[in-house]
Amino acid sequence: MTVGGLTKEDIKTMFKDTVDAMREGFEMCLKEIKYLPERVEAVEKKVGITTKRKGTSAQNTTPPPKPTLEPGID
């Protein structure tokens, strides 16, 4: 039996290939997430951020300084 010119085996192969590609992509994402803290730390060192985080970053963020207008600058 064929569907749109594809056999059952063709369809199974296509689904398997799709699942394999998704699995590979997901594994790549997990590896990137694993290395993210090291990369953040490297960037922090490069830009001079020295505070150590305790807990989530959302708990330790300070609001950016409010812009100040200098006299004579519009």
Taking only the tens place, the pLDDT of each residue in 27-71 is 999 999 999 999 999 999 999 887 666 655 555 566 677 776 766
Residue 30: inside a domain, yes or no?
A: yes
What's the pLDDT band for 25 if we cut at 50, 70, 90? very high
CA distance 64 to 19: 44
Residue 63: inside a domain, yes or no?
A: no
**What amino acid occupies position 43?**
V
Residue 72: inside a domain, yes or no?
A: no
Question: Is this prediction's pTM over 0.85?
Answer: no
Residue 65: inside a domain, yes or no?
A: no
CA distance 52 to 60: 10
Residue 32: inside a domain, yes or no?
A: yes
Predicted pLDDT at 2: 72
Residue 56: inside a domain, yes or no?
A: no
Q: How many domains does the chain have?
A: 1
Residue 13: inside a domain, yes or no?
A: yes
Other beta carbons within 10 angstroms of residue 44's beta carbon come to 14
Residue ranges making up the domain that contains 23: 2-48
